[in-house]
Amino acid sequence: MDVEVKLRLLTAATYHRLTTVLAPFHLRTLRQHYLFFDTPRNDLSSRDLVLRLRFQSYVGSSPASPRGVIDLKAKPTLVNGICRVEKDEEDIDHGFARECMVSPWKLCSLESRVLKRVRRELGFGDGSDNLGFVCLGGFENLKSEYEWGGERLEVDETMYGFGTCYEIECETGEPERVKTMIEGFLKEQGIEFSDSDSTKFVVFRSGKLP
C-alpha cells in the first residue's frame, strides 16, 4: 500500500516559486512518459484498476539506458489530500515497452508478475479470449525530487494534451503529520495550494484540468 500526501499548486508561478525555494535541497529530476492500457471493454477501469507503462530518464545525466516500468494500481482513494493505493510494479525491457506503445497486444506475451496478476485475478490478458489490450494514451511528467525536513518531496509538472498541472507529493507512513508540515512551509512561503482531489489518471481521463 502506497500512502502519499498530494497537494495541488494553483499556478505556474507558484510552481516556479516553490522549485526556486527548494533548489538547495534538490536531488534529481526525472523526465517521465506514462501510457495507460485497458481492454476494449474497460475491464480494468470498471474495477478501479490502472495498468500503465512508465518510461523515465534522468535530466542532466547520461544513464546507461532509460528505464521502463510496468505497474498496476488498485482501488485508489484520495481524501483530504492523502492518497492510498495498492501498487505492484516491476522493471521491463525498455525497447519492448516502446514496442507496446504502437502494438498494445504485445503486452499479452510479456512474462511479467504484474500481468500474471491481471490474468490470474481477472481472467484475461493472455490472448486466449481475444480481448488483449488497447492503449488509452498518456502524458508527460517532469518530477523534481528534494530532500527536505527529513522527507523526500516530489514536485511534478504534468503536461497533458489539454493543459499543465502542478503538484507536490510526499510518500510517507505518517501522512497527517507530514501534510501539516508541508502546509505550514507553503504558507510561510506565500505559495498558494489546495488538496489534490483527483489522481493524475482521473484528470487524464476527464480531458480537462481540475
In the block, residue with C-alpha cell 484498476: 49
Binned at pLDDT 50, 70 and 90, residue 127 comes out as: very low
**Res 122 pLDDT > 70:** yes
**Domain boundaries along the sequence of the chain:** 2-206
- Do 27 and 147 contact (CB within 8 A), yes or no? yes
Cell reading at 74:
488498485
Contacts of 99 (CB under 8 A, 6+ apart): 106
Q: How far apart are the first and last CA of the chain?
A: 25
Confidence of residue 128 (pLDDT cuts 50, 70, 90): very low
Write down the pLDDT at residue 41: 87
Q: Which range has highest mean pLDDT (30-34, 92-96, 125-129)? A: 30-34
Give the confidence band of 23 by pLDDT, cuts at 50, 70, 90. Answer: very high
Q: Tens digit of pLDDT for each residue in 31-74? A: 999 999 998 888 899 999 999 999 999 887 655 568 899 999 99
Q: Which residues pair with 156 in a beta bridge?
A: 143, 167
Q: Name the class of domain 2-206.
A: mainly beta
- What average pLDDT score do residues 151-164 get? 98
**Among residues of the chain, what percentage have pLDDT more than 90?**
71
Band the pLDDT of 124: cuts 50, 70, 90.
low
Cα distances (Å, whole numbers) of residue 106 to 39, 69, 134, 175: 13, 15, 10, 38
Q: Is the dihedral of CA 172, 177, 180, 185 positive or negative?
A: negative
pLDDT digits (tens, 9 = 90+) for 166-195: 999 999 999 999 999 999 999 999 999 999
The yes-or-no verdict on residue 96 having pLDDT over 50 is yes
